[in-house]
Amino acid sequence: LYRARALDLDLDLNLARDFARARDLAQDDVLKYQLQQLHDRLPDSSEDNKDQFNQWWRTHGFRWREDLRQVMIVHRNIGHDWQFTDDQKQLLEQYHDANLLLVELLNSDCYVSRHVRESIEETLLLPMEELRMRNVEVKE
C-alpha cells in the first residue's frame, strides 16, 4: 500500500512538472491562458514540498483533473467519458484491429499497386460514414 501511494504521489509530481512544459508549448492563446490558470492553482511541487503537495492533491486533485479534462475536451476534443456499450467497444476493437492489420501489411514486403496503396492510406482511420461518402465499398 505504501509503494502504491508513493508511486501515485510521484506520478502526481511528474504531472505538475510536465504540465508547465505542455502549457509553454500551447500555441492557441486561449488554451495557453486556461492552462496557465490551472498551473497557477498547483502548489509548489519541489522535493521540499512533497508533503504539502500530496495533501493539496488529495483535497483538490480530483477537481483540478476534471477542470484540465474540460480544457482538453474544448480545445483538443480529447478526454471525453464516452460510456460505450459492450457492442460499441467490440466494434471499436474490430476497427482498431482492421486498421492495424492494414498498416502492418503496408509496412511489410506485401506488394500492392501504387493506386491501391494510396487509396488505403487516404482512407485509413476514417469513420464508416466518411467511407460511404467517398463511395468506398464497406462490408459490414
**Which of 19-23, 27-31, 68-72 has the highest average model confidence (pLDDT)?**
68-72
Express each pLDDT in 46-75 by its tens digit: 778 888 888 998 999 999 999 999 999 998
For residue 11, tell me if it sits in a domain: yes
d(CA 20, CA 32): 10
Answer yes or no: is 138 within a domain: no
pLDDT band at 3 (very low <50, low <70, confident <90, very high): low
| Sole residue written with cell 475536451 | 73
Contact at 8 Å (CB) between 72 and 78?
Answer: yes
Torsion 19-20-22-28 (CA) sign: positive
Q: Are 6 and 69 in the same domain?
A: yes
Does 63 map to a domain?
yes
Q: Please indicate, yes or no, whether residues 94 and 64 belong to a single structural domain of this protein.
A: no
pLDDT band at 6 (very low <50, low <70, confident <90, very high): low
- Tell whether 12 and 65 lie within a shared domain: yes
Query: CA-CA distance, 52 to 44, in Å (whole number)?
Result: 8
CA distance 54 to 58: 6
Give percent above pLDDT 70 in the chain.
83
Rounded to two decimals, the pTM is: 0.55
Summarize pLDDT for 90-103 with one digit per residue, the tens.
Answer: 999 998 999 999 99
Domain that includes residue 93, residue range: 86-133
Indicate the residue among 56, 76, 96 that finishes a domain.
Answer: 76
Give 11 or 91, the one with higher predicted confidence: 91
Task: Determine the pLDDT at residue 64.
Answer: 93
- Do the Cβ atoms of 35 and 19 come closer than 8 Å? yes
Residue 44 DSSP label: P
Same domain, 54 and 113: no
DSSP collapsed to 3 states, 68-101: HHHHHHHHHCCCCCCCCCHHHHHHHHHHHHHHHH
Question: How many structural domains does the chain have?
Answer: 2
Residue-level pLDDT at 103: 92
Instruction: Identify the pLDDT of residue 54.
Output: 86
User: Are 106 and 64 in a shared domain?
Assistant: no
